[in-house]
Amino acid sequence: MIISILLLLATQTLAEDYRPQFHFVPEQNWMNEPNGLIKIDSMWHLFYQHNPTANVWGNLNWGHATSTDLLHWTHQPIAITSEDGIQAFTGTSYYDSENTSGLGTSQSAPFLAWYTGYRPSNGTQDQRLAYSLDRGMTWTKFPGNPVISAAQEAPHDITGGLETRDPKVFFHEESEKWVMILAHGGQDKVTFWTSTDGKNWTWVSNLGTAQLPGLPSGITGWEVPDMFQLPIDGTDETTWVLILTPAQGSPAGGNGVFALTGSFDGEIFQADPVDTSKLWLDYGRDFDGAMSWENVPASDGRRILAAISNSYGASPPTNTWKGMLSFPRTLALQQTGAERTFVQWPVSELLSVSSPLKTIQNQTITPGQDLLSSVVGAALDIELAFTPQANTVLSLAVRKAGSQQTVIQYTQSTTTLSVDRTASGDISYDAAAGGVHSAPLQPDASGVVRIRVLVDTCSVEVFGGKGEVVISDLIFPDETADGLALQVSGGSAMLSNVVVRQVSLE
């Protein structure tokens, strides 16, 4: 009897294990960044770096999950396996609609995936191809692999092909060629390659710090390139966007994601002058290896990004899984005068599984008041729109019980949005696990500050304004810490709109 109760308790604890409610995590074991994101028919495919046999980095395969709404994910068998001493590292996929690879059947053109093959035995990294003839469900390795050998990489890589990885591949319509962008580990550069068939590749150009004179120093170790054309809102123009994850130099320290705009002729990416105030897609600690879904139909038209939320390797205090996908967010580009700003926003599908718990409209909050003390929840979508008086500091505490809390704060005097996770729960697992992360955020033209906060069990993702700044952080609070508090100090604030929604996929 006692044994069975203990077993039940152990099972329950493991089942909970900080497992988020509306974010993707593997059923078991290790995950890092997303791979090969692609929409096929009504199905969003998520592939990801996955160790299916242990809860640590290693033995990497492409894990696979599918969803029709970016919310409910179905786990699928491994898509690209670690096999014959070659692991399947990060890469991307694309629809070969013209069957340029010749890998299609008589009935249908193939879907292609390029990934890095890693041999732990001697450390080489080469580039490989796999194809799917059943609309992304299963993948076959191309018999002619590798498509770029370590020897072919060597003249363009100071490590001779030991640090060449993460192929981003797309078909460039104007030049009628495939384009591959490869990261070169610690070398702060990417290389561009082209091909007519997706199999036989030729080096065409380098892009490094020498080509980006305005890039601040210290942004080093570039990885996981993504590149695509993005419409400029309110115009009929598009621009090219190149996204990278450096290992060092992000605003919150460690790795992060930056984005550049520029032009591209099929061989050379000519970056626009770097605007350091618009460089970073996230100001938190936990948004890395960002990648976007390809093949999204024009009728939808969204460019949707997801990244891995975990900057601490195997350290976070979860036992049955490690590594969470960020909540999918749209990426758009807005132009005001000559200034272009990336804006990101949680995909609207979220509203279909959310219901209001509390709404406040047109009410002034003054120091000493606490307007959300009656609301609880660990999976929430919170919107705030308010006009702060001079010197007001507005604080929203989430996952709160006693002194434990994660505090999202807006400081009027410095126009700063911040996330303070110093008292958020377990921060003992890594030296960087606590801390305060902040981003500049101006009120809109009518003086209103807007903040949207997604809270899900072990994370907060905080979107400022229309999404011009985002702060994403992991937190590991006690399960019972589910309270909220909305307070001001230093002055009052007119709350034009506060909505707390509960998110539930049940």
Ligand X SMILES: *[C@@H]1O[C@H](CO)[C@@H](O)[C@H](O)[C@H]1NC(C)=O
Closer CB to ligand X, residue 109 or residue 274? 109
Query: Considering the complex, what minimum distance in angstroms separates the CB of residue 361 from ligand X?
Result: 4
**CB of 96: closest distance to ligand X in angstroms?**
9
Considering only the C-alpha atoms of the chain, give the largest distance between any 2 of them, rounded to a whole number of Å: 72
Known catalytic residues? 33
User: 328 vs 113, 174, 185, 406, CA distance in Å?
Assistant: 21, 30, 26, 22
d(CA 214, CA 410): 30
Burial class (CB in 10 A: 0-12, 13-18, 19+), 197: middle
Strand partners, 334: 341
Give the integer Cα–Cα distance in Å for 501 and 446. 25
d(CA 261, CA 251): 19
Question: What is the smallest separation between the CB atom of 289 and ligand X, expressed in angstroms?
Answer: 26
Q: Which is nearer to ligand X, 217 or 362 (CB)?
A: 362
User: In the complex with ligand X, which residue's Cβ is closer, 187 or 409?
Assistant: 187
Q: Which of 189, 251, 199 is nearest to 221 (CA)?
A: 189
The contact set with ligand X (CB under 6 A) reads 99, 102, 104, 106, 108-109, 119, 121-122, 124, 150, 200, 202, 361-362
Q: Which is nearer to ligand X, 331 or 486 (CB)?
A: 486
Min dist CB 154 to ligand X, Å, is 9
Angle at 104 between CA 101 and CA 105, to 5 degrees: 150
Question: What beta strand segments (E) does 278-338 contain?
Answer: 288-292, 304-309, 321-322, 324-325, 329-336
Q: Shortest Cβ distance from residue 409 to ligand X (Å)? A: 25
Report the relative pairing of strands 354-365 and 339-346 from DSSP bridges: unpaired
Taking the least distance from each CB to ligand X, the nearer of 99 and 248 is 99
